[in-house]
Each structure stands twice: as C-alpha cells, then as structure tokens.
C-alpha cells in the first residue's frame, strides 16, 4: 500500500470512529442501566432462596419451577390472552385514528397528534384511579344507566374484572401505539393513495393494499410496544382486576416484594421475557401475512 493510500485509509477509519462517538452516551446508558441489571437478574435466577438468604449455588431449579408450576402457567396464559386482546383493540383504534388525522385532516394532523401526546403527560396512577371512579358501582357509567332506567342494580362487573383491566390498558396504550404508526404514515405519499382512487379503488381497499403494507413496520412496533406494556403491567391488574385477575407482573412482584424469593422472581421474569419474545414473533408473522 502506498503512503498516500494508507493516509487516506487512516483518515476514513478516523472519520468512521468519530462518526460513531455520538452513539457512545446511548450505548453507555444501555449497557449500564439495561444490560447490566438484566445480567444481574439472570445471575440471580440461578441462585437458591434458603432461610431468607440468597445462596449462589447455581442450578436450573427456578426455571424448572417457572415452567412446570401450574399456577404460573395459568397466570402466563391469562397474561398473554389479555395482552393479545388489548393489542388488537389498541391497533383497531390507533390505526384508523392515525390514518384519519394523516390523510383526511392533513392540515390539522399536527394539532391532533399533539392532543394524543398530551394524554401521555398525565400520571399513570391517577388515570387508573380515574377508571375506578368511572367503572365503580357508584361510578359515572352505572349512575347514568341507573338514572335512565336501563338497569335497576349497578353492574358490579365493570370494575374489579379482566374487562376493567382491558379497558384501562387500552386507554393507556392507544397513544403509545399512535406514535410509531404516525411516523410510518409520514412515509406514505398521498399521491399513491390518490392514484389508487383515480383507478377506482375504494378507501378500505386502499388502506389494505397500499397504506397497510407501507406502514407495517410502524404497526409492528406499535404491536410490540402495546403487547409488552400490557403483559408486564402489574399496577392496573392489582387496582382494577379484582381478586382473580393476577397477571405475570403481579406474580413476579410478589416474589421480589413479599416472599423475598428473588431467584425465583428472576427466573419468572426471564421466562416471561422469553414468552413475550415468542408471542411478539407470532404476532409479527400474522401482521405480515395480513399486509400481503
């Protein structure tokens, strides 16, 4: 190699290194505050809980219990089911809403998008308690139905039920789903949709054959965000789900906070991560097929 070539090559390498420097803070944050704790959690999952102490005798017993315990399997199934229903409900609300504000009201889309973001500013717990007020026996819905004579007794199943959990989670997560879908829709040229209309395609046909395939990456991200958030939530089921609505997050929280079996809690958490990865993979596959 000539000296000139070496100098040029070295300069290119230096530019590549320098161009990666802005990533360092994010990478450091990821390593220290995400990967690090996750590795600690994984390590803990191989420990034993004995006599209120955590003993580092490495074994797979906690994973065997997580995978074979009938109670946790029931909770996992409930968690995945509720998360799936919430994800479907959220996508069915978020996608049409985002389509409308992007293509039907393009001049107002930023203001409408901002209104969606505003709902994220509120405290999460305050919104949970608000739903308790709305859905309760003396809540807005029951009081209204009683006053118009549609019911004679409050519908107590509105609150402290999986239905309440589903409603509240859907309410919380629609704005979260709108964000990636909105970003994806910015890459859909209105001209494509116009061309399709000129060729005689109906609106629904355009959504299914043009908009949806082009926005599928955003829809997949929205589905992943929603599914993970719904599956991992433990405050909403605890406050709105009633006595029989425990989900995986609550079961894991119990091991860390009440029984103090941190190794088992860590194994349950890692198991949940694995189940969520598989579930999201399946969801993405189905979404991909829908877009074809």
Partner 1 sequence: MSDRPMTTATPILGTLLDRRRFLRISAGSAAALMAAGMIGGRVARAQGSFDGVTLDFIGIPGEEGQVELEAWRAENGVTLAATPFGSWDEVFAKLRTDTFDLALVANPYVSLWGQAGVLTPLDLSRLSNWPDVFPALREGDFLRDASGNVYAVPIAWGDGPFVYVPERVPTAPVSITELLDPAWRGRLTTFDDPILIFHQLAVAKGYPSPMMTRDQLAEIKEEARTLVGNVRTFTGTYQDATDLMVRGEVDLAIGGWEAMLGWAEAQGATLDFDFFAESNGGGWCDSLAIPSNAVDVDAAYAYIDQMISPEVNAQIASNLVSGTVNSRSVEMVDPAALIYDYSIVEDVTNPIKFEAWTPPLEAEGDIATKRDWDDAWAEIRAG
Question: In the structure encoding, which two tokens stand for residue 250, read together?
Answer: 């609550």
Tell me: does residue 75 bind partner 1 (CB under 8 A). Answer: yes
Q: In 103-117, which positions are buried (b, 16+ CB within 10 angstroms) versus exposed (e)?
A: beeeeebeebbeebe
Instruction: Report in angstroms how near the CB of residue 108 gets to partner 1 at its nearest.
Output: 40
175 vs 241 by CB, closer to partner 1 = 241
Determine, following the binding rule CB under 8 A, whether residue 156 of this chain makes contact with partner 1. Answer: yes
2 in helix, strand or coil? coil
Binding of partner 1 by 81 (CB under 8 A):
no
Nearer to partner 1, 13 or 50 (CB): 50
| Touching partner 1, residues 242-261 (CB under 8 A) | 242-246, 251, 254, 256-261
Burial of 167: CB neighbours in 10 Å, binned 0-12, 13-18, 19+ = buried
Measuring CA to CA, which residue among 279, 274, 278, 253 is closest to residue 264? 253
Stretch that binds partner 1, among 5-13, 29-37, 116-124, 130-138 (CB under 8 A): 130-138
Between 106 and 257, CB nearer to partner 1: 257
Distance CA 250, CA 240 (A): 13
What H or E segment, with its residue span, contains residue 240? helix 235-240
Contact flag: residue 198 with partner 1 (CB under 8 A): no
User: Contact with partner 1 (CB under 8 A): which of 72, 99, 131, 225?
Assistant: 72
The CB-of-172 to partner 1 minimum distance in angstroms stands at: 19
**53 is a site residue for partner 1 (CB under 8 A):** yes
The answer to whether residue 71 forms part of the interface with partner 1 (CB under 8 A) is: yes
Q: How far is the CB of 67 from partner 1 (least distance, A)?
A: 15
Residue 2 gets the label, from left (phi > 0), alpha (psi -120 to 50) or beta, of: beta
Among 8, 137, 151, 277, binds partner 1 (CB under 8 A): 137
Number of residues in contact with partner 1 under rule CB under 8 A: 32
By the rule CB under 8 A, 126 interacts with partner 1:
no
Q: Virtual CA dihedral for 226, 229, 230, 236, nearest 10 degrees?
A: -140
CB of 151 to partner 1, least distance (A): 15
Cβ 263 to partner 1 shortest distance, Å = 13
Residue 67 or 112: the one with the smaller Cβ distance to partner 1 is 67
Q: How far is CA 232 from CA 62, 100, 122, 159, 280, in A?
A: 20, 30, 20, 20, 13
- Cβ–Cβ under 8 Å, residues 256 and 262: yes
Q: Which two tokens stand for residue 242?
A: 């009633």
Minimum separation from the CB atom of position 244 to partner 1 (A): 4
* Rounded distance between C-alpha atoms, residue 152 and residue 285, angstroms: 46
CA distance 269 to 66: 9
- Residues found near partner 1 in the complex (CB under 8 A): 51-53, 70-72, 74-75, 78, 136-138, 154, 156, 159-160, 238-239, 241-246, 251, 254, 256-261
């Amino acid at each position: 190699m000539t000296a000139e070539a070496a100098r040029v090559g070295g300069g290119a390498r230096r530019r590549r290194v320098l161009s990666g420097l802005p990533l360092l803070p994010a990478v450091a944050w990821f390593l220290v505050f995400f990967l690090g704790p996750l590795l600690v959690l994984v390590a803990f999952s191989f420990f034993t809980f004995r006599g209120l102490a955590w003993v580092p005798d490495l074994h797979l017993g906690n994973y065997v219990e997580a995978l074979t315990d009938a109670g946790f399997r029931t909770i996992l199934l409930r968690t995945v089911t509720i998360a799936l229903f919430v994800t479907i409900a959220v996508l069915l609300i978020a996608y049409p809403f985002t389509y409308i504000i992007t293509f039907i009201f393009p001049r107002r889309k930023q203001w409408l998008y901002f209104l969606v973001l505003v709902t994220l500013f509120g405290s999460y717990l305050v919104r949970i308690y608000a739903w308790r007020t709305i859905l309760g026996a003396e809540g807005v819905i029951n009081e209204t139905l009683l006053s118009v004579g549609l019911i004679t007794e409050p519908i107590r199943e509105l609150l402290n039920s999986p239905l309440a959990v589903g409603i509240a989670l859907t309410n919380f997560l629609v704005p979260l789903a709108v964000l990636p879908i909105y970003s994806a829709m910015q890459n859909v040229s209105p001209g494509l949709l116009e061309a399709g209309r000129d060729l005689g395609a109906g609106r629904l046909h355009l959504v299914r054959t043009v908009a949806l395939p082009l926005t599928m990456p955003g829809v997949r991200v929205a589905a992943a965000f929603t599914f993970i958030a719904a599956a991992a939530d433990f405050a909403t089921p605890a406050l709105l789900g009633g006595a029989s609505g425990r989900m995986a997050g609550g079961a894991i929280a119990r091991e860390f906070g009440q029984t103090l079996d941190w190794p088992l809690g860590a194994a349950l958490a890692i198991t949940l991560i694995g189940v969520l990865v598989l579930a999201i993979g399946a969801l993405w596959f189905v979404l991909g097929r829908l877009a074809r």
